[in-house]
Amino acid sequence: MAKADKTMNEIVALCKRRGFIFQSSEIYGGINALWDMGPLGVEMKKNIKDFWWKSIVQMRPDVEGLDSSILMHPKIWEASGHIENFTDPLIECRNCHKRFRADDIKGKNCPNCGSDQLTEPRMFNLMFKTFIGPLESVENTIYLRPETAQGIYIDYQNVLMATRQKIPFGIAQIGKAFRNEISPGNFIFRSREFEQMEMQYFVHPDDANKWFEYWREMRWQWYIQLGIDEEKIHWHRHGENELAHYARNAYDIEFDFPFGRKELEGVHNRGDFDLSRHQQYSNKNLEYTDKITGEKFIPFIIETSGGVDRGMLAILSDAYTVEPEPKNPSKMRVVLKMHPRISPIKVGVFPLVKKDNMPKVASEIARELRKKFTVFYDEKDSIGRRYRRQDEAGTPFCVTVDGQTFDDDTVTIRERDTLVQVRVKIDEIAPMINKYIENWKKNKGISLS
Ligand code: GAP
């Protein structure tokens, strides 16, 4: 097995074992390209989304939040160009009946069975359809949104009016999107139901290039703050024939996944495409009026569009480390060295042994720490095993109550990456953890003291 496949298999197995990600509908044999977030996955994903929301909405006076509906008026998808353009060329093998995207086929043979009995490509729309109301008719057909962006465009005037923002300003949204992908795969990289974190920034047309560069820089820096290794991310500029139907200019932030360099997030200059089209299809005036100059214009839109699930997979694969145990180098430990800000559990709390009142004191410490952090209390198995379980979950700190705790109110704190252990007073645990999370730098091994 190739090394990349082995690494991916190990990551998938760890995600199941530790409760990050499960295959959807597993007891019914599973369903392709749909995934469930387990107890750790849901915490980790929430941490990614919270960090995005904090940096894009909470910290910025010029960006507002929105949560628009998933099902929307079907005309939106005519206006947006999705009914006409959101298609992939589909080729089917007449021999094994597998289906492929045309660009996944190199040469003239089926990648699955080798047959040359391939159909001509036919265009396949990626939007999921359903019906609104009891009648399953053409007029009642609606779509599960394939991107969150359109909900923002159609609410842009409502947000403007309610918030009294002035251009330039942005609207941000996190939510589910659905695509009936022909060739999904690579775990959660390409699935049929996923989450997007999108921000649409409305600007004067003359300023679009300036803001496009600004948002490229902001998004790059965000991934660094997320703890992703800067050497593993790259810019890819879309060539003329790659640009989506709405884009004037587009760059992807790509990440070196175990299965290759692939898109993580897109930054697009969408020009006035979306608002002009919605103005045309809705017959509503969507111009912006500058209150000072009186100028009326359709704003240009700079979009940043990231996948939460892809971000999660990038962090997991960046963090996944197999290394010799320092005290016993013939044994390997598996550890997720992710930014503690993103770690699903922040602190493991253990009694060294299950006697001498240690469980009682450790439980009390866990109860106090839960007010501030996600905590996992564990008293089963040897202390070494408990540490290793938390390493695999990416837990940055383990607090252990031992005999000395009863003498001087101290515990040991063990740090995940460096394995440094220090003794601290019980009431110093929380401030120390907070300080460490703020100052964490990848591979820097900051001392706990
Ligand atoms: N509003 C623009 C837009 O949707 P996109 O490049 O099609 O642009 C943006 O998608 C991001 O959404 C991608 O960079 C990726 O992170 C995520 N994404 C797209 N399709 C996905 C899929 N099938 N599974 C998981 N994530 C996906």
pLDDT in tens, 296-331: 999 999 999 999 999 999 999 999 999 998 788 899
**337 domain residue, yes or no:** no
CA dihedral of 187, 245, 243, 143, whole degrees rounded to 10 = -10
Q: Which residues contact residue 272 at a Cβ distance below 8 angstroms, ignoring those fewer than 6 apart?
A: 205, 298, 299, 300, 301
E strands in 179-287: 193-203, 233-237, 249-257, 260-271
**Pairing relation of β-strands 99-101 and 397-401?**
unpaired
Question: Which residue, judged by its Cα, is nearest atom 14 of ligand 1?
Answer: 265
Q: What is the pLDDT of residue 315?
A: 97
Query: Of 261, 296, 315, which one is at a domain's C-terminal end?
Result: 315
- Distance between Cα 439 and ligand 1 center (Å): 31
Residues 61 and 136: their CA atoms lie apart, in Å, by 45
Same domain, 99 and 142: no
C-beta of 307 in contact with ligand 1 (< 6 A): yes
* Residue whose CA lies nearest to ligand 1 atom number 17: 307
Distance 265 CA to ligand 1 centre (A): 7
Which residue did the predictor score with more confidence, 447 or 88? 88
- Give the number of other CB atoms < 10 A from CB of residue 358: 20
Amino acid 183: pLDDT: 83
Residue 214 reports pLDDT greater than 80:
yes
Would you say residue 330 lies in a domain?
A: no
Per-residue pLDDT at 72: 98
Q: Please check the confidence at residue 148 and state whether its pLDDT lies above 60.
A: yes
Please give the mean pLDDT across all residues of the chain: 95
pLDDT of residue 400: 98
Say how far apart CA 347 and CA 366 lie, in whole Å. 9
Whether the CB of 254 sits within 6 Å of ligand 1: no
Q: Which of 142, 173, 179, 139 is nearest to 156 (CA)?
A: 173
Question: Of the ranges 122-126, 222-226, 312-316, 437-441, which one carries the lowest mean pLDDT score?
Answer: 437-441
Query: According to the model, what pLDDT value does residue 106 have?
Result: 85
pLDDT at 209: 97
How many C-beta atoms surround the C-beta of residue 381 within 10 A? 11
- Whether residues 299 and 432 share a domain: the answer is no
* Distance from C-alpha of 242 to C-alpha of 446, rounded to nearest angstrom: 43
407 and 283 within one domain = no
Residue 303 to residue 156: CA distance in whole angstroms: 14
| Ligand 1 touching residue 191 (CB < 6 A) | yes
φ/ψ bin of 190: left (φ > 0), alpha (ψ from -120 to 50), beta (otherwise): beta
DSSP 84-134: HH-EEEEEEBTTT--EEEGGG--SSS-TTT--S-BPPPEEEE---EEESSS
Ligand 1 atom closest to 252 (CA): 14
Question: In DSSP terms, which residues pair with 411 in a beta bridge?
Answer: 424
Domain housing 204: 3-78+133-315
How far, in Å, from the CA of 16 to the mean position of ligand 1?
Answer: 24
- When divided into structural domains, the chain yields a total of 3
CATH code, 422: 3.40.50.800
236 and 376 share one domain: no
CB of residue 317 inside a 6 A radius of ligand 1: no
pLDDT higher than threshold 80 for residue 335? yes
Q: What is the predicted pLDDT for the residue at 325?
A: 87
Asked whether residue 447 is assigned to any structural domain, the reply reads no
Q: Is 80 in the pocket of ligand 1 (CB under 6 A)?
A: no
Ligand 1 centre and the CA of 58: distance in Å?
24
Among 266, 293, 315, give the residue marking a domain's end. Answer: 315
Ligand 1 atom closest to the CA of 311, numbered from 1? 16
Mutate to test the pocket of ligand 1, among 194, 249, 264 (most ligand atoms within 8 A of CB): 194
Asked if 289 and 355 sit in the same domain, the reply is no
Q: Are residues 47 and 110 in the same domain?
A: no
In a domain, 190, yes or no: yes
Please say whether the beta carbons of 293 and 206 come within 8 A.
Answer: no
Residue ID of nearest Cα to ligand 1 atom 19: 307
Cα 390 to ligand 1 centre (Å): 32
Q: What spatial distance separates the first Cα and last Cα of the chain, rounded to whole Å?
A: 43
Weakest mean pLDDT among 28-32, 168-172, 183-187: 183-187
List all residues 6 or more positions away from 170 whose beta carbon is below 8 Å from its beta carbon: 56, 60, 62, 63, 64, 199, 200, 201, 202
Q: How far apart are CA 185 and CA 262, in angstroms?
A: 13
- Residue 227: CATH number of its domain: 3.30.930.10
The model's pLDDT over 257-308, given as tens digits with 9 standing for 90+, comes to: 999 999 999 999 999 999 999 999 999 999 999 999 999 999 999 999 999 9
Residue type, 421: Q
Domain match, 182 and 118 both: no
d(C-alpha 118, C-alpha 90), whole Å: 10
The helix or strand, by DSSP H or E, that contains position 326, with its residue range, turns out to be none
- Alpha-carbon distance of 64 to 58, in angstroms, equals 8
Flag whether 262 is in a domain: yes
285 plus 268 within the same structural domain: yes
Same domain, 98 and 37: no
Do residue 264 and residue 185 come from a single domain?
yes
Neighbouring C-beta atoms of residue 398, cutoff 10 Å: 25
222 compared with 441, residue with greater pLDDT = 222
Mutating to test ligand 1, I would choose from 126, 145, 147 the residue with most ligand atoms within 8 A of its C-beta, which is 147
Which residue's C-alpha comes closest to atom 23 of ligand 1? 190
Task: Tell me the mean pLDDT in the region 60-83.
Answer: 97
Residue 441: what pLDDT? 79
119 and 165 housed in the same domain: no
Give a yes or no: residue 140 inside a domain: yes
Centroid of chain to Cα 139: 35
Closest CA to 312 of 18, 6, 16, 21: 21
Q: Determine the pLDDT at residue 324.
A: 94
Q: Please identify, by atom number, the ligand 1 atom nearest to the C-alpha of residue 198.
A: 1
What is the rounded CA–CA span in Å between residue 208 and residue 213?
9
Instruction: Decide if 332 is inside a domain.
Output: no
CA 345 and chain centroid, separation: 18
Atom of ligand 1 nearest to the CA of 307: 16
CA distance 87 to 294: 41
Helix, strand, coil percentages, rounded to 5, for the chain: 35, 30, 35
Closest CA to ligand 1's atom 2: 305
pLDDT, position 444? 61
Confidence of residue 351 (pLDDT cuts 50, 70, 90): very high
Q: Percentage of the chain with pLDDT > 70?
A: 98
In a domain, 329, yes or no: no
pTM value?
0.95
pLDDT tens digits, one per residue of 389-432: 999 999 999 999 999 999 999 999 999 998 999 999 999 999 99
Indicate whether 449 pLDDT > 70: no
- Looking at the fold, whether 106 and 160 belong to one and the same domain comes out as no
147 CA: nearest ligand 1 atom: 4
